[in-house]
Structure 1
C-alpha cells in the first residue's frame, strides 16, 4: 500500500509539472505579446486593380519595407487583379483570415455602415487632400473602426481620386444626357440615388468583370478614376468620357483582428510602419498616376473627352443637391459637418 501510495503521488506530481510546463509553452508560442523577436510569418495582401495603380504601388512599398526591416522573417505576398480574391469574396476571406490585408473601395461597406457612403456624396471633395483630411480625422477614423464586430480593423485611407463617366451612347455634358442610360457603379444607396435622380439605371458589377460587361453591352457605361479607366483600357470599349469629379473612389487598408492581435510588439511595430510607408506612397501615386493616365487617354484618342465648364458643373451640383437631404439622417449630420469642414466648406 505504501508503494502504491508513493507511486500515485509521483504520478500526480508528474502531471502537475507537465501541465505547468505545457502552459508556459502555449503562452510562448502563441505569437502574442509574450513572444520576443520578429515572428516569422507570411502576410497575404489581395486587391482587385492592376499593377500600374496607386493601390498596387502602395502595396509594393509596404511589402518592401516590411520584408527589409524584418530581415526577411516576414514575407508579404501581393495578389493584384483579383488573382486571389475578387470584389465579391475578399471581405469574407479577410474575416476568415485567409488573407491578412485587403484595400477595397469604401463604398463596398455601405451595407455594413451607411457612413461609408461619404466618397459617393456628390461634389463633396474637390481633391485628394480634402478627402484625406476627412478620413484621417476623428469622424473618419471612427467609421473605419466600425467593422471590428466582424473581426476587421480599418487602418488607413488610400485615395484613388475623383471619378469620371464613360459611356457608349452619347456625349454627356448635362443632367438630361443621362436619361435612359445604364451605368455600372460600385453599389450603395447614394450612388443608386444619384443615377436615379439623373434618370439613369445603375448596376453593381465586380471590377474584374467590368471590361467584358462594357464590351458586351451589359451596361452602357461606368464611372471611375483616370488611373482605373486607363489601366483597365476601358477606352477600348467606350466611346465618350466626361470629366466630372462628381464622386470618388477611396480605398482603405483593412486587416483581420485575430492576425493583428496575434503579432507581438516588435513584429506589429514593423507591420504598422510598413502600412504607414504604403500609405505615403499610395497617396503620392494617386495624384501622379491619375495625371499620367489622363494624358495617356488623350494620346490614345480612343474615347471622346468632354471637359465640363464650371457653369456646367454647377448645374449638376444643383440637380444632385437633394441627395444630401435624403441621406442626412442615415449618414448623420455630424458626418456631413466633419466632411464639409475637411473640404473647407
Structure 2
C-alpha cells in the first residue's frame, strides 16, 4: 500500500521475543502504524501472527559464513533484500507458489519462512537443512474499509472490537501450535536435519544482521525503530 513503515516488521531480530512483539502490536506503536492506513481508506483492527522464521538450505546454516554465495528466496521487500546481502547471500524475489519448484531445480538454494509454511508447502522435501533462528517475523494486519466501518452503529463497532480481540488471541495461539507441530513433523520425516543455534551462533547472526536496522532506518523510520528498541528495553532486553 506504499506505507513503508510497515516494513519494520521485516527487520531481522527487531523482536527479541514474543513479549516485545506483543507490546508493539497491541500498544501505541501498532496503533500508530494503523493510523497511517487511514489515508488509504482503511482501518486496522488487529495484528495476527504467522510466526517466527527459520532458515532452510541444502547445507548446514550455523555460522554467518555459511550463507556466502547462496541464492536465497525472499518476499518482495527492500529490508529482506538487505538482510541477505548483509549475510553475503544473493536474495531472489519469487512468488510463494514457485518456491518448491525453484528449490527442487536449484534455481534457489534456500529460503526463510515459518515452520508451518515450510511444512505445508513441502519445502522440507527439497531442503536438507533447517535452522531454528527466530530471526524474523511474519504476520498479518486485519483491515477493513474505513468508510464501511465508520458507517456502523457505535454499539456494533464495540461488539466487533471485542470479538476481534478474542479472535486475535485465538488466532495467535493457533499459529504457535501449528508452527510447533510443523517443526515436530519435519523432524519426524527424517528428510531435513533441524538445528537450533547456540547462544554464541545467534549472537554472531544478530551482530551481522543488526546492521540492517541502521541501513534501513531512512526507509522505515529511525524514530519507529528507536520506539521498538524502547519497548524491548522496557521488557528487559537491551538492543544496542
TM-score (normalizing by structure 2): 0.88
Match of 1:145 among 35, 43, 51: 35
2:51 is the alignment partner of 1:161: yes
Alignment of 1:57-96 (within 5 A): none
Alignment of 1:194-209 (within 5 A): 194-209=83-98
**Deviation sequence 1:180-225 (CA, Å, 0-9, x none):** 1111212222111111111112123232333333333332211011
2:163 is the alignment partner of 1:252: no
Structure 1 residue matching 2:179: 3-state secondary structure: helix
Q: What is aligned with 2:67?
A: 178
Residues 213 and 258 from structure 1, CA distance in 2 versus in 1: closer, same or farther, beyond 3 angstroms?
farther
Please list every run of 5 or more consecutive structure 1 residues that lacks an aligned counterpart in the other structure: 1-108
Whole-Å separation in 1 of the counterparts to 2:21 and 2:67: 26
Q: What is aligned with 2:216?
A: 327
Check whether the contact 1:183–1:222 (CA below 8 A) recurs between aligned residues.
yes
Check whether the contact 1:134–1:338 (CA below 8 A) recurs between aligned residues.
no
Shift of residue 272 of structure 1?
A: 2.9
Match of 2:123 among 220, 227, 234: 234
Alignment of 1:89-168 (within 5 A): 112-168=2-58
Check whether the contact 2:13–2:210 (CA below 8 A) recurs between aligned residues.
no
Check whether the contact 1:175–1:316 (CA below 8 A) recurs between aligned residues.
yes
Check whether the contact 2:45–2:161 (CA below 8 A) recurs between aligned residues.
no
Residues 285 and 216 from structure 1, CA distance in 2 versus in 1: closer, same or farther, beyond 3 angstroms?
same
Shift of residue 266 of structure 1?
A: 4.7
Check whether the contact 1:239–1:302 (CA below 8 A) recurs between aligned residues.
yes
State the Cα RMSD in Å: 2.0
Whole-Å separation in 2 of the counterparts to 1:234 and 1:274: 35
TM-score (normalizing by structure 1): 0.63
Residues 184 and 156 from structure 1, CA distance in 2 versus in 1: closer, same or farther, beyond 3 angstroms?
same
Residues 286 and 342 from structure 1, CA distance in 2 versus in 1: closer, same or farther, beyond 3 angstroms?
farther
Higher relative contact order, chain-length normalized (CA < 8 Å, sep 6+): 2
Structure 1 residue matching 2:36: 3-state secondary structure: helix
Residues 144 and 208 from structure 1, CA distance in 2 versus in 1: closer, same or farther, beyond 3 angstroms?
farther
Residues 255 and 209 from structure 1, CA distance in 2 versus in 1: closer, same or farther, beyond 3 angstroms?
farther
Structure 2 residue matching 1:157: 3-state secondary structure: strand
Q: What is aligned with 2:168?
A: 279
Equivalences, count: 234
Whole-Å separation in 2 of the counterparts to 1:273 and 1:207: 33
